Every structure is written in C-alpha cells, then in structure tokens.
Structure 1
Amino acid sequence: MNQRQRELYDEVKNANGELDLELGQIGDEEAKAIAEALKVNNTVTELFLQENDIGDVGAQAIAEALKVNTKLTTVYLYNNLIGDVGAHAIAEALKMNTTLTTLYLGKNQIGDVGAQAIAEALKVNTTLKELYLERNFISENGIKALNQVGNRSCKLWTDDQRKPSPAQLQEMASRAAQVRATIPTTKDPQVARSAAGMPHAAPSSSYAASAPTPPPRPPKPATLRMSSSKSSAHQDIRQLQARIAQLELERQAPPTTSAVPILSSIPRVSLQVLSQATAQFSESKRIGGGGFGSVYSGVWSGQRVAVKRLAADSTQGVAQFEAELEALSRFRHPNIVTIMCYTQEGNERCLVYELMANGSVRDRLDRKGGTPALSWQQRQNIATDIANAMHFVQTAIPRQPLFHLDLKTDNVLLDAHFNAKVADFGLTRSAPAQVDAHSYIRTQTVQGTLQYICPQYQHEGKVSVKTDVYSYGMILLELVTGQQPSIDLMSTVRHQLKRSRKIDALLDKAVDWSSQDKESVQVIAELAVDCLDPARVYRPSFGEVLRRLSGEEAEVNEDEPIENSDRECLLCWSAPTNAKLMPCCHACVCVACAQEMIQRRDKCMICRVPPTAFETGKYNQTFVP
C-alpha cells in the first residue's frame, strides 16, 4: 500500500458507526484498502462512498468484504464507475450477506448482465430492504428480470420509476417538515445541505423527474463540521418544497408521447483507468495522432480499444470532443464506429472507441504495411456501408439530421471483417453560424479537408445534407481508382465517362478486374459524378444512393424539392418555408413544423440549441433543401 491507501485503511479500521468517504477521489486501489479494513472492522454500520471513481476492481474488493462483514447495514456507492463485472461480484456477496439492508448503486455503468445477476441474488437474499439501481444502462430486459424477483420485501428503484408516487411525494413532504427542527448552526452551505438531508448538488435536482435518486441521508450530529447559517438551510427547505409541488403537477399531467428514440449514454471512466489500459499512454502504444492529440491502443473492460487523448492546450480539440461525444451518444449503428467510454478530468479529455483491426480505408487503398489490395467486392461493400451510416444519421431522429462535414477515406475505418464504420464526427456544427438571404447555413469558419468540400461550403460557407453527399462522391472515386482525392481526378473521370462511357484506363491496377466487375464499376463511377455535381440540387440524397447501389432503377427523389417550388419545408415537404427558427436563425421550415419543434423541444439541426420562437416571412428555401 502507498501512504494514501495506508491512511484510508487505518481510518476505516478504527472507524465507528457512520463512515463518510464521499467525494474522496477514491479509485479502485483505494477501494481495495477500504475493503481490507472492512473485513476486520466490526463497528462501522453505514459506509458512504458515493461520488468517487470506484470501478469493477474496487467493487469486487468491496463485495469480498461484504461476504464476511457482519455489521454493515447501509452502503452508498452512488455515482461511481461500477459495471457488470462489479455488479456480478456484489450479487454474489448478497447471496451470503445477511446484515445489509440498504444498497445504493445508482448512476453507475451497470447493464442487463449485472441487473440479471442481482435479480438472481435477490431470490436468495431476504434481508435487503432497499436497492437503488436508477441511472445505469439497464434496458427493459434487465428491469423485467428485477421486477420478476420473488422477494418482494426488497424495494427496487430503477429507471422505469420516472416520477414519485403520491406516497413518495407525501414522504418527501414529511421529510421536509421533519428536517426543519434539525437545521444545524453552520455557515457552510454544503454541510447544511448534508445535515438537512439534502444532496451536495443543487436542491432542485435532488429528486429528478427523469430518474429517482437516493433519498436524503439522515441528519448528522451538529458536531460534525458544522458552520452554516440557518437561512441557507431554510432556503434549501423552500426549494425542496417547491420541487415537491412541481413533481405533483407533473404526476397529475397527462402523459406525453414522443417519436424521438431514447438516446443511449456513454460511460465515464477515470483517467487512471485509461492510463492503465494504455500502459500509462506509452509511446509504444501510440498508433496515430494529429492536431487534436494522439491515439493509443489499449485494453479496456476486456476489449481492445483505441484511446484518443486530446492535447490539453487544444481549444479546437475541446469543441470537437464535445461535438463528437454529443453526436455519438445519440447515434448507434453497425456502420458508425462505437464509442465505448470517455474521460473528462480538468484539462484531460479522452474518447475511447472500439479498435478497428484493419485501419482506415485510405491506408488499405495505399496498401500501407504491405497489405493486400481490397477486392472490388470489398470496395462495393464499403460504399454501401458508408451510405447506410450517413442515411441513418440524417434520418434517424426526425427534425434533427446530423452533418459530418469531414467525410473522407481517412475517417472510414475497417473492422476485422472489413466492415466499414464512419468515425470522427467532431466537426459537426457546434458553433453559431450565420444565415444568408436564401436561408442557407453560413458557417463562421469552413472546416474539413479541401478535396472533399463542395463549392457551396468551400466558397460561401453554405451547408446542407448534400454537403456530405459531395464528399461521398469523392470517396467513390477513390474506391474505383485507388488514387488520392483531387479535383483533377474528378475532372478526369467525368471527361472519360462523357467521351467513351468507360473508365477502364483509370481503374485501380492493384485489382484483378473481371468483365462483370467492369460493368458494375460504371454504375459506381456514374453515381460518383452525380454526387460531385457542383449544384447541390442535382446531387442524390443518401436514400437515392442506396437505391442505386442496390441496383434499383432511378426514381424521382422525394427528398429533392422541385426547383422554384414553395414546397421546401425540410420536415414535412408539403408547405412553404415561412418560419425562421429563433434565437439561432439557423433553419427555415413551415409554421406548423416550427410550432411542433418548439412544443416538443426539438433541437436545431445545426447548433443543437432548442428553438424558443420563430419569425415568419417568405424564405426561398430551407437550409437543407
């Protein structure tokens, strides 16, 4: 043990009654020391370890202590980093423990596997009375397993209990009244909240409507670090009572429905965890890098991963980090690279992805490392995979298409089976933009790679869903020719098709082309030229791209408005664009759709700011026509 761990061991070993170690920056190694002390301490009855960085390893150690400790009745592990492995260990301990009555595991990283293990343990355990599992990653299957437990003496809190019942509201009101008499004489507002049964966070979120949180802790004796004013605690009580009234109104309101899917969350882990996963960010583990920072290979939670560590002094990197985290938390798809977890501690920011065994499409076209050439079948599959991903992000959430704006072969990665996955959504719009007289989005700065940027974006800063289609067209030319992207490549292919309808002379010579391959490559080349049309109105949508790749006959693109038509509303396609969304001014839709967006609290498709009003007028076209 190091000095810090030894101090914790001694503190726990000699503690009596309630032991408060919340907000103690305790990780797995410190949790091990605490667990060892709990094995020999027979006086601690309540252990508070919430708001720390305890992961599966630390949870396993604590679980071993619970198997032998016969005094602990309450354990708080709320808001840590415990996943399925740690939950399984705790479940095994619950099968043996006969003294624990209250366990808080909310706001961790427990999924269905961990929930099912706990459900099995509750069939055996008859002493646990309260178990909190809200704000984890437990789906309906895990909740169903928990709800089917025969032991109904244990009260379960999961995310299917979104709002408190009338009895719970009454209990909260009663608690608020009780703590009036226990307000300590202290000048420390944080201590006043804790002593009055309030969490350290803002009181308004102490019982969030989106998910239940642990009930307030019992009042502490006034001798513990007391120095707060009564007025601060009285204010907390008033805020709690206001929150109770708000929740009562929400409970009585009729339920609302939404077509927007429930969005998945991304686990947060400590920097220490990622440091261990990458051998302390060893140079030998570095597999790439750029202006944003470096990428390292590693192993996290038993899986090989790529860890993108942003440079601490990169202002642009911070914006990209936030944009990509927001984007990938909303979209999960087989052809979008999966983000596994992330770290954000001070100036340190890391994103952790699944490790793509075959690198980027560009590396494979260049045959980097002496790898064999991609076959034409593999290249066709890659083209389809990319189109699938982009069609998905543009259509998955109504009224909220996602732009990539840096789509290129360097940002398309290949897994072990050469399935393509789009990566690096960090350049999606996250900064305010300007709108010109024709209601395009006009970005303040053009970002991306020059060879892939369409004329409207490059010269005028105008963005639409056809911006990424243009980039996709360049990718198709790379797949066909193997050459680096360039304006000259586009012009040459267009000239060859116009002159002879064939591009045989431009085909990648590393591929053994059959006559059948050469027929299909003409379809791809013609599609590429259409995607690269200088006028965005003539480029196909990704939906049309998929139809053409599958061999379906070309048809009128329903996504494509007729020129000079007033049926341009991005959302319904059946009304004129006569409403400009405020306050961001980024999009123009019809009045009916604008009203619906505001009512449903949808976000602007560009800056992700929810519109609060709209300005009526006659606008020539939407920003995404």
Structure 2
Amino acid sequence: MSFLGFGFTRRTPRELYDHVKNATGYLSLSDSLIRATEAQSVGEALKVNRTLTKINLNENLFGPAGASAIAEGLSMNQGLTNLYVNYNEIGDAGSQAFADALKVNRTVKELLLQNNLIGEAGAQAISESLKVNRTLTTIGLGWNEIGDAGAKAISESLKVNRSLTCIGLTGTHIGTVGAQAIAEGLAVNRTLTSIGFGENQIGDAGAKAIAEALKVNTTLTCISLIQSQIGDDGACAIAEALKVNTTLTEIVLYTNQIGDVGAQAIAEALKVNKTVTKIHLQQNQIGDAGAKAIAKALKVNTTVTTLRLWDNFLTKAGIKALKQTGNILCSFVDSIGADGLDQQRVPSPADLAQIAARAAANAQPQPSVDLATENQQSRSDLADSDQKVAAKDQKVAAKDQKVAAEDQKLTVNDQELQQLRSNFAAKDQELQQLRSNFAAKSQEYTTKLTAKDQELQQLRSSLAAKSQEYTTKLTAKDQELQQLRSSLAARSQELASKGKELATRDQRLATKDQELQSLRSNLAAKNKELATKDQRLAGKDQELQHLRSDHSGSDQKLIAKDQRLAAKDQELQQLRSDLATKNQKLIVQDQELAAKDQELQQIRSDLAFKDTELKSAFGRIEVLERSQPALESASSFDETIPRVPFAVLVSATNNFAADSLLGEGAFGRVYGASLPGPPVAVAIKKLSAESKQGAAEFKSELDSLSKFRHANIIAILSYAEEGDERCLVYEFMPNGSVRDRLNLKNNTPPLTWSQRHRIAVDVSRGMHYVQTAFPDHALFHLDLKTDNVLLDAHFNAKVSDFGLVRAAKHLDEKSYVRTQNVQGTAVYMCPEFLFEGRMTTKTDVFAFGLILLELLTAAKPGPRLKNEMRKAVKNQNIVEMLDSVLKPTEAELPSISELVTLALECLDEAADERPSFGRLLATLDP
C-alpha cells in the first residue's frame, strides 16, 4: 500500500478486489490511480458481486487492457445498472470489449464512455451491440473520434434498437455526411428522447437533414446542436420542422451563426408550436429585427418558459420589444439568474461583414428619396421633438415626486404581501404533501391488495400443479413398473436362450477336445512309427556296408540293394511330409480351440452381467412396489446407485486434503482418490454444505445420472450423504476436461485433429442420447461447455455435470417451456434462453456450436469468436482462424470445413434454424 499525499490512500490490487467485491449500492473510484493491473482486480470482483448497482471509474487512465478486464467482469455481473468509464483512454480495443459485454449483459442501463480516444472501429463495435442489447437506455460517447463512418454505423443501430432513450455524440468529429446518416436513424427510431449532437461540423446541410427527421420523429423531446456551424438556412429548416413536430420540448442552438432571418423563421414557428418550452439561442448573431419578431411571437405563444438570448447583437430597441410582450411565463435570465437580455455584445467588423452579406442576399429593392428634403424635414421634426421632450421632463419630475411618496407606502404593503405569499406557499406545500401522502397510501394499499390477489392465484395454481404433478408421477411410476416387468420377462427369456446357447457351445467344445486328443494320439503313433522306420533304415545301412565289404564282386546284388535303399529313402521322405502336414493341421486346430475358448469366456462374462442386471431389476421392482402406496415419501432418484459411508470418502481423500484436489466449480470441489478394495481411481465431488443450490444440484445430478447408461455420459459409481455433507463418486477421467487440453494445461501435448473430431462426435452422440432416452419427456442439460466435457485415458469424450438438468413433457422442434430462474454460463446461452428464459430442444445445440468453434480455434468462447469465424468464412480464410498448433493436411481440410459450417448453423440466432443433435450426429459420424 502506498500513500499519495493529502490523506489519499492507493489500494493494492487485493484490497481493491475486496473493496469492490463487498460494495453495495453506489461506489465511486473516480481519479483513484487505477491502472491496468488494478483494473484486473475490479473486473474479477464484478464477476462475483451481486449488490453493487452503480460504479464510477472516471479519470483513471487504465487503457485498453484495463477496459477489457472490466468488460469481462461486466459480461458476468448480474446486478450493475450504471457504469461510468470517462477519461480512461480505452481506445477501439477497449470499446470493442465493452461492446461484447453489452451483447450478454442484461442489467446495465447507463454506460458513459466519453473522452476515451474511441475511433470508427470502436463505434462500429458499439453499434453492433446496440442492435441486440435490450436493457441499455443511456450511452455517452461524446468527445471521441467517431467520425462520419462511426456515425453511419450508429445510425443503423438506432433503426433497430428498442431500449435506448438517450445518446451523447457531442464533439465526435461528425460532419454533414454523418449528420445525414444520424437523421435517417432518427426518422425511424421510436424510443430515443434525447440526443446530444453539438460541437460537430454538420453545417446548414446537416441541420436541414436533422430538421427533416424531426418532422416525422414522435419521441424526441430534447436535441442539442450547439457550436455546429449552423446559419440562417439551417435555422429556417429547423423552424419549419417545429411547425409540425409535437414532441420536442427543448432545442439548444447556441454558439452558431444564426442571424435575424433565422430568428424570424423561429419566431413564426413559435406562433403555432404548442410543445417547446426551452430555446437556447445565446451567442449567435441575432439583431433587433430578429428580437422584435420573437417578441411578436411571444405575445401569442403560451408554452415557452425559457428563452436565452444573451451575447447576441441586440440594442435597446430589441431588448425593449422583448420586455414589453406582456408574456409573464417566459424568462430571459441567464444560467446564474441575471437578466440575460442586458448582456449583449457589439458586432466586430467581421460580424458586420457577415450581417451585411446576409442582408444583401435577403434585401428587397426600395424606392429612391430626395436626401436634402428628407434631412431638412428630419431636423424640423427633431426640434419639435426636443420641445416636447423638455415639457415631458417637467411633467415626469412632478410625477417622480408623487411616485416616491407612493413607493414608501408600497414598501410597507409589499412586505405584507410577501408575508401573505409566503404563508400561502407554505399552506400550498402542506396541501401538496397531504395529497402526496394520500396518493402514496392509496397506492400502497392498492399494491398490497394486488399482491395478495396474485399470491392467492399463485397458491391456487400451485395447488392445482401439485395435484397434477402427483397424478402424473403416479401414472409414470405405474408405467415404469409395467416396463420393468416387461423388461424382466424379456430378460428372462433372453437369459434362457443364452443358457441353451451356452450348453450347445459347451458340447461343441467337448467334441473339439475329443478331436484334439485323437489328433495328438495319431501324432504320437506316427512319431513312433517314424522312429521304427529310422531304426530299420539304420539296420539296412549296416547290412549294406557289410554286403559291400563281403561281396565286393557281386555287382548285381549291390545294384538290387541300392534300389531297395532308394525306395526306403523315398518312403522315409513321404513319412516326413505326412508328419509335417499333420503338425500344420494340429496348429490350426489349436488356434481354433483357443478362439472358441475366448468366445466361451465372453459368453460367461455376458451371462454374469445379465444375471447382475436381472437382480438389479428385481431390486428396482421391489423399491417401486414399496413406494406405490406413499408416493410423496418416495426417493427422487434411483436406489440402484450404491450409497457409501461418508467416512470412507473422508479416509480416501485424507480428509479432503489439498494435495487431493483436482478442481473447483460453482457448487463444490472435486478430489482424486482410490477407494478400498481393488485399486480403482475415482473422482469425488464434494458439494458445499452452505449452498442451497448445491443441495438442489446434488439431487438433480443423482437423479439424472442414475437413469443414464451411455458410453459418452460420465458414469456415477456411488454417493454419500451425511447431514449437510454430500458427495458424488464418478469414474476418474485421467485426461481432464477439453478446456484443459485446449489450454495445454500442465504442458500436455495438443489435441490432434482426429481427436478433436472424435470429441465432437462423442458429445453429439451423448447429447442425442440425453434428449431421446426417455420418449415421454425431453431433458435439457443447460450447462454444456468444454469445462464439462471430460476425456478418459483413450481421449473418449463424456458429458458431465448434470446439476442444472431440467425436464419437460416431450417437445417438438418448435415448442418451448419457460423458466424464471436462468442459470448456467452466460456466454454459452442462446438468446431466447438468456433474455427470455425459453428452453427448447435447440438450447443445448447453441452451446454445442461454441464447443465446435473452441475445438477448431482453442479460443475462449463468446460473441466475438462467432463473429470472427463468420467473417473468416465470408473472406475464405478459415485456416487463419484455426488453433496455431493444428497443421491440417489436404485430406483433413474437408472435415474442418464441415465442422465450421455445422458450428455456425448451431449458433443461428433463430432456434428453429439450428440442427438437432440427431442430424448433427448423422453428419459427423455417417
């Protein structure tokens, strides 16, 4: 913490975070030396604060980085209504971040971004957000560098926006073209009541365009065009608009170049206009002719209460005409309460030149006169006038004496009159207070009576709904019981069939065993026969040697012996060939026998599983039959999920030690552990004991996962519940979430394209199962995101976190149900769910579209990601948007293009245009 003189204390980022997090109502941090680092803390605090409604961050100069951090907090905040960010040099990047936040925020009504170096790009981003935002009523963009291009973009948003009532565009470098564009927006806008458009260079042409819009606009009550280079032509056009406009009450035209012609035109308009109460014409070039025209108009006008004309060219004649109109409603005082008519200026030579030029342009030809005769007549008239004036002066002096005496009497009477007026004002104020109190009490009683009526209606509706709900549950339980009985009968038949098949295969296996034994016996006999032949052959060889040595001369006998020996050799070769053939057949039969044995083991495993499933079905029937008489006391989830003692999980996690912590979510923490028995890794979600939402999530997730059995849905193994302590035990997913892998958490290798494509297929298959598993009703996940898609050891994807799941009677693709309690992650919510609470079968499809874009780009989800991908498709540069670690081959590009197309279809603003999970699965995994 550092100290900055004059008692001011600059907070550290942590102190600033705590200060904003715990703030309520209004918080001022103006000129508090908050830079980009400290702004990060403010943004993080805004994500969790729910009580702050107004925050002032003016004059901190935290720049684009700080603006992005605060905008990110704004996108998640659900309580802020007023945000002031003037004088912070946020630039186009910062304004784009705020624009993205406005697309999802539903509470902010006033946003001030004045003096922030915002250019055309920033203004265009803001205008895009104004097209979809439905809550913002006031936005201040004054003293930026928006220009004509930015003005055109803002005009387009004014044509469709339905919430904005006030917009500030003062000093934003807008010229004639920009003014003409804004005029087009004002001509069709039906909500704007006030626009600040001064200190621009719109000129007479721009003023004429604005005037044409005022002729048809029916909502604007105040418009400011100060210092906008408007002359008589522009003023005349505005005057014509005032003749037909019926809503404008205040028009600000000071510090322009309006002369007598423009003032005379405005005066003519005031004779017929019945709504304008305030006109600001100070610091123009209006002379006595214009003042006299306005004075005539005020004699018949009954609505103007404030007319400001100081710092013009009025003389005593013009001032006298204005003061003698007899209009008691209109005030000419200046901003500090002084008489504004007496504060005039003398025209400079340049001013006189302009006035002369305008007079020449508007002058009518006059008849010629004799100047000498005219001058002599004037002198004679002047002498007569002097005599008359002297006589009148004498009379005036006498009257002055009488007036002085009367003034003394009037002073006393005036004091009494002032006292009476003061007493009357007090009584009138007391009466107004009584009327106000009566109206408040009347309104209070009316409100209470209405609330009681609504409460009674809600109770009646709730009673009827509960009755219908119990009837529906009883019917559903009866149907489930019948289905279980039918399933049991079918499983019994299937089990009997499997038993017969197993017996048949056992017989075949016994036969194969016998054949194998026979083959082995034959092989042994052949081996023995071969050994005998070898012995005989050895004997023959010895005999041959003996004959050769004893009968070397007997050639014929020797030849005969050789022939017999060759025959024996041939017979030996044949025996060896036969033996090799028998060995080969034996190997083949051994392989067949091993395959049959493996098949037998699989059948026995399937039979054991069927037996377990059969026992589970018997258990479920028994639970249903026990719960039939007392439906209200029945458990809301399937009792087949094992319940384990809480102490077992405490021991497995070493009392939920920090080194076992895997992650932390909205409702609790997740720990890794290994349960007693055969070593199996599990993930244990421990729900927060203080969170009511955690208890609701526990019941919802337990109820949902007890019904789901699918390869792409996370499997729940058991649960524990003891007092306020609740835990869910899942299968362990060693490769974490898809978001972790895209972020390369813990330096893990990046996902390949084939892995990403398979993840998309797995998620669509899992969500298709969720929506179609129960034919009598539809299920909504409502928190589908990459953080809730987990990966097993082989990178198979499984959908998790069913704590927000909702159910409704079966819906077609155009039906919906509505909720007042919108929960989940805002950036993944489709517009109809985020802003209206409408849930359809296409609600989760929108979130899936963002998941596809994340798989393609690894970028964080949000409206900007969707818009940038659409631009990339339009500009045919999709590859530049891909995750930089992906190096797609030519063979992979078609599947990438297909995934981009599907993602943008899923993100369609219209729910009816989004594909179903069934069609997505058919496309991704044909």
With the shorter chain as reference, the TM-score category is: 0.3 to 0.5
Flag the structure with higher helix content: 2
Q: Which has the larger radius of gyration?
A: 2
Q: TM-score of the superposition, structure 2-length normalised?
A: 0.32
Higher relative contact order (CA 8 A, sep 6+): 1
Q: TM-score of the superposition, structure 1-length normalised?
A: 0.46
